[in-house]
Amino acid sequence: MNLAQLLLRTARTAPQAPALALGTRVVADYDGLARRAAALAGALRSRFGLAPGERVGLIMRNCPQFVELLYGCWFAGLGAVPVNAKLHPKEFRYILSDSGCRLAFATAELAQALGGLSDLPALVEIVDVEGPAYPPLLGAPPLAPAAVAADDLAWLFYTSGTTGQPKGAMLSHRNLLTMTLCYFADVDRIAPGDGILHAAPISHGSGLYILPHVAAGALQVIPESGGFDPEEVFALLGRHPGTTLFAAPTMAKRLIDHPEAGGPACRNLKTIVYGGGPMYVDDLKRGLETLGNVFVQIYGQGESPMTITALTRAQHAERDHPRYEARLASAGRAQTAVEVRVAGADDAPLPPGELGEILARGDSVMPGYWKRPEASAETLRGGWLHTGDMGVLDEDGFLTLKDRSKDVIISGGSNIYPREIEEVLQSHADVRECAVIGRPHPDWGEEVLAFVVPRSGAELDPAALDALCLANIARFKRPRGYRFAESLPKNNYGKILKTELRRLASEDGPEEPG
């Protein structure tokens, strides 16, 4: 089924229900949203000549246009390629080129940054959704939802890997419909009049949760800031009842610590779905005390979007359970449509309590990576998604994440891959070798720390390394500290021992700030 049918169904059954709000102002009901999406689909096909199956880049901060364009792509039978608005222009170039996007839509400030990409052979045009070229597209003859196969591409989700090159996880209509149904089965119920506040990036988890809220006829609220500001969140909570937020643990912690936590506005806070990493148990306990029983945790990856395990609201509140704190520290149990296994080196399941790699399979799991057959075969070998995360299942099926075999750093809910940063630092003429790790940070969970070995006789300036990083990768990925050393610890095979680097990072010692 074409995911556009979810919007069309709601528009027919609840046409006057509010669909989109910018801050406190409703800007579209469901009838209007469906009409705008159908007209945009007509423009994509007639004005720009896009054929079914082609890709459209969505590079924008959170805004109402994202929602109507996402469904416009699906009405037209096209694949959407939402891109993190925080990325560097070089990263935008790579993703648009790799995906073969024929068209890109961007908010004004990002449209300017994308201005130098007109040489990409597949790209027809970059449209500023806040400029004069966008409104006429809404007057195009509307299209009915295109006929698509369940396994046709709906969302191409770019997620970095340990090689440093982003890979596009191909998410089909079947994958995202499964995710939507799992939301209702395992995460939360959505009632008429409820809504979701998109304070987290709409190109990622929060944007994926557009789908269940559209299916239920709920309101999508876009902050006027286009992002996360605790003051704005509490102000909007005061105006929108039955509100859900998707939040990284660091965002949830800032809300818990805010002076208005537990105040009158919180009566309208229905659910905080947190993901991107577990929360500290003490933070969760404080959150339950100040905000109430509003927490649900999900564990997923771009390759199985938002859909591997869930720790329900009820499980957060089971204070009398003998393993209550262990469960709070876990990522919950397998979602309804997913099988989860903790496996050894041979991919065979391990008994409860033993550490291994987390594997998952089900209709939420991607069919593969875009144009990456070898990576797809490796990641999906044996019919299981190999997450690269390490964990333990208990006898009741609760999964606890223990480590990340790919050394991913999670900072502020964003995944940062060390190899990508190491490759940039290694390009400096005076860097002999380097290694990047994450170290604990009280607000962001982790921050990036780089160990750097200068070439013989060279003196490295942290400011120069910072400038190199800022010229090649997004600002949020750059190291927040540098430690210079004569050598890096290695094992007998010459592999850098990052466990030893983490130990060194935990000790007091001089370092240069980034």
409-513 fold: GMP Synthetase; Chain A, domain 3 (3.30.300)
Q: Which architecture does CATH list for 28-148?
A: 3-Layer(aba) Sandwich (3.40)
pLDDT at 158 over 90: yes
Q: What is the pLDDT of residue 273?
A: 98
- Binned at pLDDT 50, 70 and 90, residue 509 comes out as very low
Q: Tell me phi and psi for residue 359, to 5 degrees.
A: -115, 150
C-beta neighbour count of 345 within 10 angstroms = 7
pLDDT of residue 59: 97
> pLDDT grade, residue 417 (50/70/90)?
confident
Mean local confidence (pLDDT), 8-24: 98
Task: From 281, 280, 283, 316, select the one nearest 297 (Cα to Cα).
Answer: 316
Q: Give the pLDDT confidence score for residue 404 in this predicted structure.
A: 64
- What are the backbone dihedrals phi and psi of residue 120, each rounded to the nearest 5 degrees, phi first? -65, 125
Whether the pLDDT of residue 512 is over 60: the answer is: no
Region 416-445: mean pLDDT is 87
Q: Which residue has the higher pLDDT, 278 or 143?
A: 143
Q: Given a cut of 90, is residue 22 above it in pLDDT?
A: yes
Pairing label, strands 18-22, 219-222? parallel
Tens digits of per-residue pLDDT, 43-64?
999 999 999 999 999 999 999 9
* Euclidean distance between CA atoms 277 and 243, whole angstroms: 22
Average pLDDT over residues 16-21: 98
Closest-CA residue to 264 (of 237, 292, 229, 245): 237
Range in 14-28, 65-79, 115-129, 207-221 the model is least confident about:
115-129
Could you report the per-residue pLDDT of 311-349, keeping only the tens digit for each? 999 999 999 999 999 999 999 999 999 999 999 989 999
DSSP string, 212-257: HHHHTT-EEEE-TTSS--HHHHHHHHTT-SSEEEEE-HHHHHHHHT
Any idea which of 27-31, 46-50, 58-62, 249-253 has the lowest mean pLDDT? 249-253
Region 379-405: what's the mean pLDDT?
90
pTM of the model: 0.86
Amino acid making up residue 466: D
Q: CA-to-CA distance for 438 and 445, rounded, in angstroms?
A: 9
pLDDT in tens, 93-109: 999 999 999 999 999 99
Q: Where are the domains of the chain?
A: 28-148, 409-513
